[in-house]
Structure 1
Amino acid sequence: MVYNAGFYFLPIYLGYTAAKKLGVRPVLGLLLVAILIEPSFVALAGTQDPALTVFGIPAPVVNYSQSVMPILLSVWVMSYVERFFDKHVPDTLVTVFVPFLTMLVMVPLSLCALAPIGAELGNLLGNFLFSLGNAGGIVSIIAIVVLMAVQHFLVITGMHMALVTLALVAYAQNGVETYALVCNLISNFAVWAMALAVFLKVKDPNEKSVALGAFVSGIVGGVSEPSLFGVGFKYTRCLVGVSIANAVAVLFIGITHVYFYNMGATSILSLLNFIAPDKPMNVVFAAIAGGIGFALSLGINYFFGVTKEQAEAGVEKATA
């Protein structure tokens, strides 16, 4: 229940943080996203007659829980709409009419256009990358290298869910998966190492606490978002270090043909997902690939991911 609450309502948290970042009233960001995952709306998804209109305009019914692109696109456009009304509504009426008029415009715009477009963009990218992974030969090798290098960016935008969905279909049909699920799990090792590198490098106790918490959340709980959002967003050069580490790790995956065999954890125990009765070395190769990504990410991000200024920031305040 706790796990589902965290991920089902992820768009709510994202709507709040995106609104603050873009200068939108946070409560409007929360409300707009809440509408997209409102239970009766989500219940229509997958039904035979999901007819829905807003002011007579047809609105595609999509389950936007755990999605990111529809949220970012909607809140981004809302920042311009709200700014427009803030500028043109008299000061005495701002408190009531700016939120009202903003939502009057954004609800149909988001439900009928922006959110479906965002979801489709994620699906198109997922289908494109997945087709490259199944092409075979040098194309597949290049595709898996590219995917591993950008995997954490896909997680940040939520686009990885489109790939994972396609991969699960392939897994259900074939009993194994050789592309998206492999990358999704092995790339986590480099992300965890990024958080550990920051913990070891920075001196501010608060920053060390955040980085250590993100590392433990990943390696024990299998949740990479604290490392990506809590650490990677602040120390952006570390995200490049993760890309380099993953690109090298995937070369070993390609050489040894690591396959995904079992559904299970996304933590350090994710290595169990690579245990195969007909390929006993598969789990060993997966562990080596994860170790390569972890070691490279730790080294690169410790020496190059955190600047001297970032490492020293907050020390004087903490000692005072």
Structure 2
Amino acid sequence: MAEDKYKTIGDGIYDHVGGPTNVAKLIHCMTRVRMTIKDDGKVDLEGLKKVPGVLGVAQEDTLQVILGPGVVNKVAQNMVDEVGVNLGEPFPSGATTAATSSYQSGKTAVEEKAAEVHAAHKAAQKQTWWRAALKHISSIFIPLIPAFVGAGLISGIAGVLGNLQTAGVIGAGWGTAILTMKVINAGLFTYLNIYVGINAATEFRATPGLGGIIAGLIYLPGVVAPLSLPNIFTGKPLVAGSGGIIGVLFAVWVMSYVEKWFHKHIPDSVDIIFSPFFTLLIMGIFTIFLVMPAAGWVSASLVGAINWVLNVGGAFSGFVLGLVFLPMVMLGLHQILTPIHLEMIKDLGMTPLLPILAMAGAGQVGTAIALWIRCRKNKQLTNMIKGALPVGILGVGEPLIYGVSLPLGRPFLTACVGGGVGGAVIGAIGGIGATSIGPSGVALIPLIHGGFGNAMGYVFGLLAAYAGGFVATYFFGVPKDAMVAKDEEGNLLDNTAVATAAPAAAPSIDDIMTAAPVAGATTDFVATVAGTLEQLSAVKDDAFSQKMLGDGYAIEPSIETIVAPATGTIISISDTKHAFTLKADSGLEILVHLGLDTVELGGKPFSYDVAVGDHVTAGQQMGLMDLKQIAAAGKAPTVITVVTNMDAVASFGTYADGTVDLGAPVLTVTNK
């Protein structure tokens, strides 16, 4: 059953991104499936957010579907298995799965939104050189995150045991176990340059083996005292490791162009021999004598500058860093910090940046708790918080960001304030760093460098961020509309009914739809818009004029306000907003269609003041329709009102053509 669950989620994602044929490549990180989309116009964002198991959707350089830790691995693997490729490999142009046929059935609905969605995506996805650079950095380091987490935890355990051994709490017999764990940790960090070089070459479409070799040169293998190579800028001996990760990224990026140039200009018959030979020779010299000294200076300057800022700025620096990190995540700028974290770990044995930046997620937790308390009548919101809060405490903040705080607006800002408060505490304490990158929140505690004291300092920071986010949100960050009573589906509830705890629950939409018409009841219809009333047979649409959908009336509108034609419950509003259905209290089912062929306009001319499930009275304002937009698109603005369950009607009233005021009586219909 577990496998079926992951397959269902994966197929649901495919259904709303245009099928696997619209995916160029798929990878995943700790919480997200990341897809490179071919045609953004085929993506149904709103439908994607509603797929069971999806916690949220984000758009940066790739389309990111947030599923949470653990689940994401299995869903992503299932999705690429269905297509027959590995994670990160290009999808074949003809890729099909069982999800494809399901997608085709919903294709029409997606295409109705294509123009609007495509324009929004293009605006959001506008490429710049720095976005492209961040995309490359993300793709290089994401596959290494599980290794960072695993090796970092082992290092943390080894550090704790080593401290206990030094204090005499445990005996010398633990020495072998401690040394073994240090060796395992060193298996990553000692040769990290090579792993990054291989991934970078893959990302830049160069030969992975050559990327690994160029990265390995930074260790200066074979250079043993008294032998040395000169730093051409200082004249001193070149130090092994100079340049580190930053040097690797730059050198392999340049290497990718050099290798491609040789492949292009060397004859095919000898390409396999001379292209790698010349690439390694030229790039080896370039890396050792230019990249290593220059990148070494950059790396040392960055690490020194950040340490200086933290040491001098203290609480203030911590507050600013904690405050701005969430906006950096939203812009995708946080990816640039990964190589900096790794350089700090290499030089200092820890990164003091990560614990401060982790406070941003803790501020989200405090914000969520405040919203839970203040918005307890909003069942849809509180249910989302219940699902997202546990993983938020563990350091996975995306569900809280994209599902809770960001959509509400102000809570996102107050969560940033909470992150700043926690960052100020960490900065004021000082000396708190993480031995690895990857998790944050409570999950980062085992990776805190320096033993129990520093770990407790980090915990104090977390608690301060929780409190800061809570207080800022509780008093200043709760939007009024978030406190409105809603059910689990987001439908508005009658606040009076909720407050007085009516003994019987309000009927559901399904109950209302299945309820039989009231025998002998009458329904008074009013003008849905102001304008010229005309017979349904005069409408220039066969489906309505021939009464295929039912009997009713039509109005050529003179104003933009739309009102309810009768008293009843809103059953549905179309995705493109051009039509809605209402179930009258008498049991009649009523369709109101705003304009002819206006489905093609993607909902742009229409806005609603009510929601599905609302009970409205005849003449109550429903929303607005922009007559100028409709006319500019070459569509007729005719508003049509029809009764669709005519089998329940005993007598249908008559009306005369002519001018009619908004909400004026039109006709009365009697049930059987």
TM bucket (normalised to shorter chain) is 0.5 to 0.7
Q: Structure 2: how far apart are the matches of 1:153 and 1:17?
A: 26
Corresponding pairs, count: 245
What does 1:186-225 align with in structure 2 at a 5 Å threshold? 186-202=359-375, 203-220=377-394, 222-225=395-398
Unaligned runs of 5+ in 1: 23-29, 45-75, 84-109
Alignment-derived partner of residue 120 in structure 1 = 133
Q: Secondary structure at the match of 2:473?
A: helix
1:308 equivalenced with 2:332 (yes/no): no
Q: Structure 2: how far apart are the matches of 1:201 and 1:306?
A: 7
Higher share in helix? 1
TM-score normalised by length of structure 1:
0.60
Higher share in strand? 2
Alignment-derived partner of residue 246 in structure 1 = 419
Residues 145/82 of structure 1: CA separation in 2 closer, same or farther (3 Å cut): closer
Alignment-derived partner of residue 183 in structure 2 = none
Alignment-derived partner of residue 171 in structure 1 = 345
Q: Deviation per CA, 1:222-266, whole angstroms, max 9, x where unpaired?
A: 310011111112221112212222222222222210422333643
Q: Secondary structure at the match of 1:276?
A: coil
2:41, 2:118 within 8 Å by CA — same for their partners in 1? Answer: no
Alignment-derived partner of residue 260 in structure 1 = 433
Amino acid at match of 1:195: A
Alignment-derived partner of residue 88 in structure 1 = none
What does 1:126-145 align with in structure 2 at a 5 Å threshold? 133-136=306-309, 138=312, 142-145=316-319
TM-score normalised by length of structure 2:
0.31
The structural deviation recorded for 1:144 is 3.6
Q: Percent identity?
A: 18
Q: Structure 2: how far apart are the matches of 1:165 and 1:218?
A: 25
Residues 285/228 of structure 1: CA separation in 2 closer, same or farther (3 Å cut): same
Residue of structure 1 aligned with 2:331, choices 141, 157, 164: 157
Alignment-derived partner of residue 34 in structure 2 = 10
Q: Secondary structure at the match of 1:262?
A: coil
Q: Secondary structure at the match of 2:421?
A: helix
Residues 138/314 of structure 1: CA separation in 2 closer, same or farther (3 Å cut): same
Q: Structure 1: how far apart are the matches of 2:351 and 2:86?
A: 35
Q: Structure 2: how far apart are the matches of 1:312 and 1:77?
A: 29
2:341, 2:351 within 8 Å by CA — same for their partners in 1? Answer: yes
Q: Deviation per CA, 1:179-223, whole angstroms, max 9, x where unpaired?
A: 2x1223232211112222222221121111012212122124x31
The structural deviation recorded for 1:271 is 2.0
Alignment-derived partner of residue 317 in structure 1 = 492
2:303, 2:343 within 8 Å by CA — same for their partners in 1? Answer: no
Q: Structure 2: how far apart are the matches of 1:254 and 1:262?
A: 17
Amino acid at match of 1:192: V
Residues 171/312 of structure 1: CA separation in 2 closer, same or farther (3 Å cut): same
Between 1:206-215 and 1:298-307, the stretch displaced more is 298-307
Alignment-derived partner of residue 183 in structure 1 = 356
Q: CA RMSD in A?
A: 4.6
Q: Structure 1: how far apart are the matches of 2:459 and 2:419?
A: 14
Q: Structure 2: how far apart are the matches of 1:145 and 1:78?
A: 39
Q: Deviation per CA, 1:79-100, whole angstroms, max 9, x where unpaired?
A: 28989xxxxxxxxxxxxxxxxx
The structural deviation recorded for 1:143 is 4.4
The structural deviation recorded for 1:145 is 2.7
Q: Structure 1: how far apart are the matches of 2:465 and 2:128?
A: 35
Residues 5/155 of structure 1: CA separation in 2 closer, same or farther (3 Å cut): closer
Q: Secondary structure at the match of 2:435?
A: coil
Amino acid at match of 1:209: N
**Which protein is bigger by CA-based radius of gyration?**
2
The structural deviation recorded for 1:5 is 6.1
Q: Structure 1: how far apart are the matches of 2:466 and 2:41?
A: 29
Which structure exhibits the higher relative contact order, with contacts defined as CA atoms closer than 8 Å and separated by 6 or more residues? Answer: 1
The structural deviation recorded for 1:306 is 0.9
Q: Structure 1: how far apart are the matches of 2:42 and 2:374?
A: 29
